[in-house]
Chains A and B, each alone.
Chain A
Amino acid sequence: MGEDNVLLRVENLKMWHAMRRGLFGGVVYVRAVDGVTFSLAPGEAVSVVGESGSGKTTLGKTILRLHEPTDGKLIFKGRDITHTPEKELMWFKRETGLVQQDPYGAMPSFMTIYRILEEPLIIHKVGTKEERSEMIFKALEEVRLTPVEDFAFKYPHMLSGGQLQRVAIARALILKPSLVVADEPVSMLDASVRVEILTLMRELQEKRGISFIYITHDLSTTRYFSEWIFIMYAGHIVERARTKALLQNPLHPYTRALLAAIPDPDPENRKRFREVPPGEPPSLVNPPPGCRFAPRCPYATERCRREEPPEFEVEPDHFVKCWLYVGAR
């Protein structure tokens, strides 16, 4: 990827949360994100998939600079924003948007939908009152909350979860950002509504050429909505590849375990047991020294337990952090 074709560059990014522990208040660190590297091109959609506690939400928030990274680099449009102070980040905030999991929690209950959408415009001093009103109605139309006059002056509690998530999308897009992070945007919605919301996000993302980071625990939706899949485990990206390549040819033993655990609707499923790796993900306070999946991995060797594997590019654009692939290419 040439430098000119990179919107976001993440280099060895670390985000450790400080946590007090013990009677005398010694500080320990939860290494939620612990050395993540990737680049994102303009207009590309990436799914970040991981289980709870894998660090995927922290990664999303750190990329948006809602946390200040502990270490590593964040470069957006060629500018280093890793440690830029909050008040000099206004331009960056304007370029980015966030859609959260719980739309009810993400909307102030005392504001109308109109006011909720106007808020970011006011903060960033965009347009006159009339221009703003036009932008708000257009945004509602884009997320198909029509007739817009009906929805604009309602309060959040008057809308269904799916409708409210559309408002959240409209709010994330109203400043015409070039990067949007959506953190489990549909996991609280019913199956039939999920597809509707994901389809809408995909349409807007493609139409406007927005880069998109879709954070989810649900691997089965990713194939429909992103070009790339990153698999996270215990603070690391253990595998990343183009969506098709990753699903058809998963390389990391953890990715394989994850895929094997997910059912498709099939009456044969009830006749067999699924192969499941033993144990649980490690503590992020004291992660194991080598590969973090090694304690559960059926192929783990002495080296895996001792030394953290680097990322190997096994096929073009297919990276895996696993010693099994040393010298594979």
Chain B
Amino acid sequence: MSTALSVRNLRLYFSTRKGVVKAVDNASFDLRKGETLAIVGESGCGKSSLARALIRLLPRNVHTYSGEVLLDGVDVMKLSEEMFRRSVRWRKISMVFQGAQNSLNPVLKVGFQVAEPLMIHFGVSKEEALAEAKRYLRLVGIHESFADRYPFELSGGMKQRAVIAMALITHPEIVILDEPTSALDVITQANIINLLKRLQSEMGLSYIFITHDIALTSELADRVAVMYAGEIVEISDAEEFYRRPRHPYAEKLMASVPTLRTDKKLEFIPGTPPSLINPPPGCRFAPRCPYAFERCLRESPPPYEYKTGSFVRCWLYHEGKR
């Protein structure tokens, strides 16, 4: 499988009054064409900041924004904002934002809002864009007559479908899904996941699927990246990850997921994640890790590639203790 996106040493730091927040620190990964890479982590681990760094929608208080993002062999980090807007954002990479179904403009018709990216970014005429919007609404399972309705006339699930149509109308190759179903009921959620699966196989899309919900990632993920305190601590294939997560944090996180079909003893992780302003000097999980030894507290572990394309940032593996 060829690579859709290569990210190397991506950093995104923010300046705040209390200091520099290292929201994304040294993230590296590849996204293959047609696959889903899930990024899981708890609130504040930097997963949404990573998404924003990829699509370059940044707040004003950026302190550091560096690294490489290779798209078709071009490092798009080197592009000017204007070039990035014209050739990358929405055209190559688009995004479904968290809670987007609730940020539709209440006074504009749904069809117009779905059509808007085409008018703004591609200069398509209104008639053409609206016709295309109807086509995309049909594609996501909404009757085209809804193009002339207002958001309040749609249910939560339908709004989410409309938002997905909006993200696809510009023919992107990569779609970032940031908690695309988090505000929805389980049955509606299953519906949206079915839709995302169908669209991916029909259109050959690559997904970056960001969520805190591990059970849900298994619905889409071909590979899983786990983030903790701004760092990617593990990337594994789905087959490996759901059966045996490698990093102690991933292992404990998995043990905290309640399951419906099997009996298991639920565990939780004592303590809280470190501050991203002054993360601990060694492994960032070490203060909470039951397996931590002296070196973990002192030195930050580099990635250990346990299989081609799969790695874990943990001294246990470097030192052959696992």
Q: Are B218 and A266 in contact (CB under 8 A)?
A: yes
- A52, A160, A265: residue with the most chain B Cβ atoms closer than 10 Å: A265
Q: Are A51 and B257 in contact (CB under 8 A)?
A: no
Answer yes or no: A93 CB below 8 A from chain B CBs.
Answer: no
| Nearest 7 CB-CB pairings of A with B | A261-B190, A51-B185, A196-B268, A190-B42, A195-B268, A192-B269, A267-B238
Interface range on chain A: under 10, 10 to 19, 20 to 34, or 35 or more? 35 or more
Q: List 29 A-B contacts (CB under 8 A).
A: A51-B186, A51-B187, A190-B42, A190-B212, A191-B213, A191-B214, A191-B256, A192-B252, A192-B256, A195-B256, A195-B266, A223-B260, A257-B187, A263-B215, A263-B218, A263-B219, A264-B260, A265-B215, A265-B254, A265-B257, A265-B259, A267-B218, A267-B242, A269-B218, A270-B36, A273-B197, A274-B190, A276-B194, A280-B188
Main secondary structure of the interface of A (DSSP, over half): helix
Which residue of A192, A199, A257, A264 contacts B259 across the interface (Cβ within 8 Å)? A264
Tell me the complex Cα distance, A190–B259, Å: 16
Q: Are A199 and B268 in contact (CB under 8 A)?
A: yes
Using Cβ atoms and an 8 Å threshold, which residues of chain B touch A146? none
Q: Are A258 and B218 in contact (CB under 8 A)?
A: no
Which residue of B188, B214, B239, B267 contacts A195 across the interface (Cβ within 8 Å)? B267
Q: Are A52 and B219 in contact (CB under 8 A)?
A: no
The B-contacting residues of A in range 24-61, CB under 8 angstroms, are 51-52
| Chain B residue nearest to A161 in the complex (CB) | B43
The A-contacting residues of B in range 176-217, CB under 8 angstroms, are 185-191, 193-194, 197-198, 212-217
The stretch of A170-178, A214-222, A234-242, A309-317 that contacts the partner chain: A214-222
Q: Are A265 and B242 in contact (CB under 8 A)?
A: yes
Q: Are A276 and B42 in contact (CB under 8 A)?
A: no
Q: Are A221 and B243 in contact (CB under 8 A)?
A: no
Tell me the complex Cα distance, A218–B216, Å: 13
Tell me the complex Cα distance, A260–B220, Å: 16
Using Cβ atoms and an 8 Å threshold, which residues of chain A touch B256? 191-192, 194-195
Answer yes or no: B155 CB below 8 A from chain A CBs.
Answer: yes
Answer yes or no: A259 CB below 8 A from chain B CBs.
Answer: yes
Chain B window 25-49, contacts with chain A (Cβ cutoff 8 Å), 1 for yes, 0 for no = 0000000000010000011000000
Tell me the complex Cα distance, A175–B168, Å: 55
Using Cβ atoms and an 8 Å threshold, which residues of chain B touch A190? 42-43, 212
Answer yes or no: B253 CB below 8 A from chain A CBs.
Answer: yes
Q: Are A270 and B252 in contact (CB under 8 A)?
A: no
**Closest CB of chain A to B230's CB: distance in Å?**
16
| Chain A residue nearest to B200 in the complex (CB) | A270
Using Cβ atoms and an 8 Å threshold, which residues of chain B touch A52? 185
Using known A-B contacts A258-B187, A263-B215, determine if residue A270 contacts B42 with beta carbons closer than 8 Å.
no
Answer yes or no: A277 CB below 8 A from chain B CBs.
Answer: yes
**Closest CB of chain A to B289's CB: distance in Å?**
13
Chain B window 261-294, contacts with chain A (Cβ cutoff 8 Å), 1 for yes, 0 for no = 1100011111010000000000000000000000
Can you name 9 extra interface pairs (CB under 8 A) apart from A223-B258, A270-B218, A277-B187?
A191-B212, A191-B214, A196-B268, A196-B270, A218-B258, A219-B260, A261-B187, A263-B219, A267-B238
Chain A window 269-288, contacts with chain B (Cβ cutoff 8 Å), 1 for yes, 0 for no = 11001101100100000000
**Closest CB of chain B to A306's CB: distance in Å?**
25
Which residue of B187, B190, B241, B266 contacts A224 across the interface (Cβ within 8 Å)? B266
Which residue of A162, A199, A266 contacts B242 across the interface (Cβ within 8 Å)? A266
Chain A window 160-195, contacts with chain B (Cβ cutoff 8 Å), 1 for yes, 0 for no = 101000000000000000000000000000111111
Answer yes or no: B144 CB below 8 A from chain A CBs.
Answer: no
Tell me the complex Cα distance, A192–B272, Å: 10
Answer yes or no: A10 CB below 8 A from chain B CBs.
Answer: no
Using known A-B contacts A190-B42, A192-B268, A195-B268, determine if residue A264 contacts B253 with beta carbons closer than 8 Å.
no
Using Cβ atoms and an 8 Å threshold, which residues of chain B touch A204? none
Using Cβ atoms and an 8 Å threshold, which residues of chain B touch A257? 187
Tell me the complex Cα distance, A70–B150, Å: 34
Tell me the complex Cα distance, A257–B187, Å: 8
Tell me the complex Cα distance, A191–B197, Å: 25
Answer yes or no: A262 CB below 8 A from chain B CBs.
Answer: yes
Using Cβ atoms and an 8 Å threshold, which residues of chain B touch A221? 258
**Closest CB of chain A to B160's CB: distance in Å?**
13
Using Cβ atoms and an 8 Å threshold, which residues of chain A touch B215? 220, 262-265
Answer yes or no: A300 CB below 8 A from chain B CBs.
Answer: no
Tell me the complex Cα distance, A124–B239, Å: 57
Tell me the complex Cα distance, A301–B286, Å: 60
Answer yes or no: B93 CB below 8 A from chain A CBs.
Answer: no
| Chain A residue nearest to B267 in the complex (CB) | A195
Using Cβ atoms and an 8 Å threshold, which residues of chain B touch A199? 266, 268
Answer yes or no: B167 CB below 8 A from chain A CBs.
Answer: no
Answer yes or no: A135 CB below 8 A from chain B CBs.
Answer: no
Q: Are A191 and B187 in contact (CB under 8 A)?
A: no
| Chain B residue nearest to A274 in the complex (CB) | B190
Tell me the complex Cα distance, A286–B33, Å: 48
| Chain A residue nearest to B254 in the complex (CB) | A265
Tell me the complex Cα distance, A312–B263, Å: 29
Q: Are A267 and B241 in contact (CB under 8 A)?
A: yes
Answer yes or no: A247 CB below 8 A from chain B CBs.
Answer: yes
